[in-house]
Structure 1
Amino acid sequence: MKHRGSEVPVLFSKTNTDYCMKINLIELFEESVRMYPQKVAVIDKDREITFSDLHQNSLQLAAKITAMGVGQNKPIGVFLDKSIESVYADLGVLYAGDFYMNLDIKTPAERIRNIIQLVEPAVIISTSRQVKSILAIIPETVKVILLDEEEWTAEVDAEAIIRNLSTIIDTDPSCIINTSGSTGTPKGVVLNHKSFFDFIDWAIDTFHFGEDLVMGSLSPIVFDIYSFELCMLMAKASTLVVLPAHLAAFPAKILEVLEQHKVNFLFWVPTIMVNIANMDLLSTFKLENLRTVWFAGEVFPTKQYNYWHHHLPEVTFANLYGPIEITLDCTYYIINKEIPDEQPLPIGYPCRNTDILILDDEDCLITEPNAEGELCVRGTSLAMGYYNNPEKTAAAFVQNPLNKAYPEVIYRTGDIVCYDADGLILFKGRKDNIVKHMGYRTDLGEIEHVIINTLKLVKNGCIVYNQAEKQITLFYEAAEEIPASEFRLQIGKVLPKYMIPTSFHHLELLQRNANGKIDRLFYKKQVNG
């Protein structure tokens, strides 16, 4: 692929380095290409691509999308595994002035059909091999681009593509990320350029990221962590090292790849980190280049975090929190003190330009320590809403009950938190994880924490509630099955009788979802039909 002219066309002022002054994420990429054209942008197994070549491929794809008459600010589906191709597909969509929606190639076709029917993407980008599983469900109105069958020899008028971006503003969508929906059809969370700029600016300023960042990218392309990695590639000319999904079952191989490519930054869901700790792999793999580790998406058991910290004492670890409806995350805690195994890791403080409201059942603001309430978020980090779903948008993105003077939207996360004595925010559990059992308000997350972190009975566990039988049910991972009597004896030493599970299920490995998290919905459905 190639574009017209020997130089990268200038899109914006070379002197403008303030991310908050930019409008379109592509502006960041243009600067990185201009400054580091021959630097490696993506490493994908035994392949790699420079920023210059990635730029050319992205422009070629943008020209193809534009030639189809799609128009701007349209959703474009990307049905690819994580690869060099998925990176330039997403960039090409942004160059065309549209917004990408990455789709999971492992998702059943019926679920993909539901997403397509809801979002109605103008185009789906794939390959002839990967598209086979969904070809029968793609409507005739949706155009298809197969990257391996296109002719890419034609010259591209890069300047014309760039001129067309002048109509895009920072509140236009940059991507859709699908999240689970109670009806079986995922909700399409719409995120805009401005919210990503805010988060990138905060991340670079807080963690002093430079142009030498090498990212070990493990999350699927459907996850918001991947979109952040894509943004860092654009903003700081960071190198993205693709860690294939199948390596999640082989943690030692992942660590080999990290050492091979001198990865210095990780942003992972804790599950894989727990497995690495439980297998004591950091005694073998020293990860001497690693400087910063972020984790988010689920609770990281403190015992396993302490294992990582003990083996990598010079690494900066940060616990981040935020649902998909917030652009990446809204709180963070840089762990700078020793935390005992039995204590949970705080989720910390709000990120810059984000405000956290902890509201009680009467929508009154909680400020005192240890009083629990729902975490609500206000600020530019909020998603624009759910695509083509005004009812669910209106239910989750609501008027700030503390502000009666003018319209101000907040997002209600459904997560229960509290402040500790130092003003740090502590995650306590989900509102929907709190059940009324035997007349008592019972937090299922608390039972999990006691079993896994306090008593250390099992490596991983998932507590769900059987509504029909009124039973607290534990699914757990362990080398051998543990007698129910032993569970009851040990848990009874810490928790009241009504909080002791009544049903126990031993598994070699708990079911995970596409994001690598324990699939709680799967087990909830299993016990409730």
Structure 2
Amino acid sequence: MKNILEYLEHSATTHPDKIAVLDPEKSATYEELLDNARRIGSFLSEQEVPHSPVAVFMDKSVEALTAFMGIVSAGCFYISINMDQPPTRIRQILETSNAGSIIILGSDTSVIKEAGYLGKCFDYHHMIKHEINVDALAKTRENFLDIDPLYCNFTSGSTGIPKGVLVSHRSVIDFMEYFPSLFHITEEDRIGNQAPFDFDVSVKDIYSTLKMGATMVIIPKKMFSIPTLLLDYLCDQKVTTLIWAVSALCLVSQLKGFTYKIPDQVNKVLFSGEAMPVKQLSTWQKYLPNARYVNLYGPTEITCNCTYYEINREFQAEEKIPIGRPFPNEKVFLLDEENKQVTTTGVNGELCVSGTALALGYYNNPEQTKRAFIQNPLNQNYLELIYKTGDLAFYNEDNDLCFAGRKDFQIKHMGHRIELEEIEMAINSFSPIERACCVFEEKRNRITAFYVGSMEGKELSEQMRKSLPSYMIPTAFRTITEFPITPNGKIDRKKLLEMCL
């Protein structure tokens, strides 16, 4: 296998009339999805050459997923642009990608024009009326290689310009070779999609669905601010599988959504993106005791995830949930600051990854690609690229990897090097606290703790002094009703810093 379209084509053959994807407005069977994808692909083959980027500017929906498959049919790769982003960021993405075509819904191009885009805009509804050009699509497939790009997801860049992580068909195929089978995702599953389509968590939803002939239920973003609507939708749609960001799961448990309704058909809960607070996990385990829980870890640059830890017991509040062990066909190891391998239990090192799942690099950005994707310093005999994640981890006594924070969340305060995550874990261990996040204000040289919970800051400080040295005690404590969340479902630390001003 060398093209992800083979997943769709196989499922369209075996389950032509089965619903492949649905949202609150519409649905598409596998046969309809494939047919419309071929029409879009035929249209684009007259506009673009293979390997070109094509942007999709629409909310996550049946149409957006169909557009992705159409772009791939034309031999191009897709870039999903979140419509909630400001025009400046949209302009940066379009300039970096140099996309010559954008697919939209309808004829309103005002937002695109406001971003300064001068390329071609095509209406989805017009494209799906195009005749299928069998010869053009066949020729594209004949010249296709599995290392050709599939999608480009833009992440934040240290320079302030978004970086486009370019991922090949081969990397997704390699990951999907193991992901559904490891967690028993089958054609019977209904996968509840939480992640936006410009976030790689959605890659697991999309391609697990297409590979296994399952059904993907797209959950609108607005439902994640109203737990009753969300739980009604999960129950009504008989969702069985959640592959969600930690913050999305915490929203349900923090706001006591399970006292309203329990989505008892959910039997798999896979989470990633941040450290899962033990109390929130325990709440899910309490109300869905028979579900399978898995902690997933991995940055966008290694195609979704590189390690996993299946949770088979209850954790105590002060415990750290491991990120586990590598997926098959991925090598995950730790390097110290001198690029020597770390194997000693309890000693931190930077987490590095090697394998087929590595991205093709950052699109149109050779300098940052060279800095992040480097030759394995442990191998001097042949070319072996690794990705240095910038994350710190250590091995526990069971030889499972445990996340120990970002290198850039490591601060120097009062002469000491401090991991902010260690402070967060201490706060999260107190029963009146729902969730906590710490930020470091460099100008004021102080640590501020934000938290959802009922404890007073003075009491928190006193309790923390029982387990942490004084230099790790936050200077300021601020209670909030909910955390600001990034489009990718993580706590927005930049907004927390702005709230300190």
Regarding TM over 0.5, the answer is yes
Q: How does 1:316-355 map to 2 (within 5 A)?
A: 316-355=292-331
In structure 1, what is the equivalent of residue 427 of structure 2? 451
Q: Whole-Å Cα distance in 1 between the matches of residues 31 and 423 of structure 2?
A: 52
Q: Are 1:495 and 2:471 an aligned pair?
A: no
In structure 2, what is the equivalent of residue 12 of structure 1? none
Q: Are 1:270 and 2:246 an aligned pair?
A: yes
Q: Are 1:225 and 2:201 an aligned pair?
A: yes
Q: How does 1:1-20 map to 2 (within 5 A)?
A: none
Q: Are 1:107 and 2:82 an aligned pair?
A: no
Contact preservation (8 Å) 1:188, 1:386 = yes
Q: Whole-Å Cα distance in 1 between the matches of residues 122 and 414 of structure 2?
A: 57
Letter in 1 for 2:443: A
In structure 2, what is the equivalent of residue 261 of structure 1? 237
Which structure 2 segments of 5+ residues have no match?
none
Q: 1:139 aligns with which of 117, 127, 147?
A: 117
In structure 2, what is the equivalent of residue 13 of structure 1? none
Q: Are 1:95 and 2:73 an aligned pair?
A: yes
Contact preservation (8 Å) 1:40, 1:239 = yes
Offset of residue 340 of structure 1: 1.6
Higher alpha-carbon deviation: 100-109 or 223-232? 223-232
Cα–Cα, structure 1 residues 46 and 116, in superposed 2: closer, same or farther, change >3 Å? Answer: closer
Offset of residue 237 of structure 1: 1.6
Cα–Cα, structure 1 residues 292 and 484, in superposed 2: closer, same or farther, change >3 Å? Answer: closer
Offset of residue 486 of structure 1: 2.2
Q: Are 1:513 and 2:469 an aligned pair?
A: no
Offset of residue 525 of structure 1: 5.6
Q: Whole-Å Cα distance in 1 between the matches of residues 314 and 458 of structure 2?
A: 34
Higher alpha-carbon deviation: 461-470 or 105-114? 461-470
Q: Whole-Å Cα distance in 2 between the matches of residues 183 and 522 of structure 1?
A: 18
Contact preservation (8 Å) 1:80, 1:130 = no
Q: Whole-Å Cα distance in 2 between the matches of residues 277 and 129 of structure 1?
A: 41
Q: 1:213 aligns with which of 178, 189, 196?
A: 189
Q: 2:32 aligns with which of 53, 67, 81?
A: 53
In structure 2, what is the equivalent of residue 7 of structure 1? none
Q: Whole-Å Cα distance in 2 between the matches of residues 130 and 216 of structure 1?
A: 30
Q: Are 1:475 and 2:454 an aligned pair?
A: no
In structure 2, what is the equivalent of residue 117 of structure 1? 95
Q: How does 1:42-441 map to 2 (within 5 A)?
A: 42-68=21-47, 70-128=48-106, 131-140=109-118, 142-148=119-125, 150=126, 152-158=128-134, 160-441=136-417
Contact preservation (8 Å) 2:40, 2:127 = no
Contact preservation (8 Å) 2:42, 2:131 = no
Q: Whole-Å Cα distance in 2 between the matches of residues 309 and 154 of structure 1?
A: 49
Contact preservation (8 Å) 1:418, 1:425 = yes
Cα–Cα, structure 1 residues 394 and 456, in superposed 2: closer, same or farther, change >3 Å? Answer: farther
Offset of residue 205 of structure 1: 2.5
Cα–Cα, structure 1 residues 151 and 294, in superposed 2: closer, same or farther, change >3 Å? Answer: closer
Letter in 2 for 1:204: P
Offset of residue 483 of structure 1: 4.0
**2:487 aligns to what SS in structure 1?**
coil
Q: Whole-Å Cα distance in 1 between the matches of residues 498 and 283 of structure 2?
A: 34
Offset of residue 154 of structure 1: 4.3
Offset of residue 151 of structure 1: 6.2
Q: Whole-Å Cα distance in 2 between the matches of residues 151 and 168 of structure 1?
A: 23
Contact preservation (8 Å) 2:55, 2:80 = yes
Letter in 2 for 1:34: T
Q: Whole-Å Cα distance in 2 between the matches of residues 116 and 152 of structure 1?
A: 24
Offset of residue 218 of structure 1: 1.1
Letter in 1 for 2:473: I
1:272-326 per-residue CA deviation (whole Å, 9 max, x = no partner) reads 2112122332344232322211100111101111111122121111100001111
Q: Whole-Å Cα distance in 2 between the matches of residues 525 and 362 of structure 1?
A: 35
Contact preservation (8 Å) 2:42, 2:130 = no
Higher alpha-carbon deviation: 154-163 or 85-94? 154-163
In structure 1, what is the equivalent of residue 436 of structure 2? 461
Cα–Cα, structure 1 residues 249 and 404, in superposed 2: closer, same or farther, change >3 Å? Answer: same
Question: TM-score scaled by structure 1?
Answer: 0.91
Question: TM-score scaled by structure 2?
Answer: 0.96
Letter in 2 for 1:137: A
Q: Whole-Å Cα distance in 2 between the matches of residues 53 and 224 of structure 1?
A: 25
Contact preservation (8 Å) 2:109, 2:121 = no
In structure 1, what is the equivalent of residue 9 of structure 2? 30
Higher alpha-carbon deviation: 333-342 or 27-36? 333-342
Higher alpha-carbon deviation: 272-281 or 261-270? 272-281
Contact preservation (8 Å) 1:44, 1:242 = yes
Contact preservation (8 Å) 1:95, 1:162 = no
Cα–Cα, structure 1 residues 153 and 304, in superposed 2: closer, same or farther, change >3 Å? Answer: closer
Cα–Cα, structure 1 residues 408 and 128, in superposed 2: closer, same or farther, change >3 Å? Answer: same
1:116-156 per-residue CA deviation (whole Å, 9 max, x = no partner) reads 1111012111123664212233433x2211124x2644431
Letter in 2 for 1:496: P
Offset of residue 457 of structure 1: 4.7
1:344-382 per-residue CA deviation (whole Å, 9 max, x = no partner) reads 211000000001111112211111211111111111111
Offset of residue 233 of structure 1: 2.6
Q: Whole-Å Cα distance in 1 between the matches of residues 271 and 318 of structure 2?
A: 19
Q: Whole-Å Cα distance in 2 between the matches of residues 166 and 260 of structure 1?
A: 43
Contact preservation (8 Å) 1:359, 1:374 = yes
Contact preservation (8 Å) 1:29, 1:233 = no
Give the number of equivalent residue pairs. Answer: 501
Q: Whole-Å Cα distance in 2 between the matches of residues 374 and 381 of structure 1?
A: 19
Q: Whole-Å Cα distance in 1 between the matches of residues 67 and 129 of structure 2?
A: 17
Identity of aligned residues (%): 35
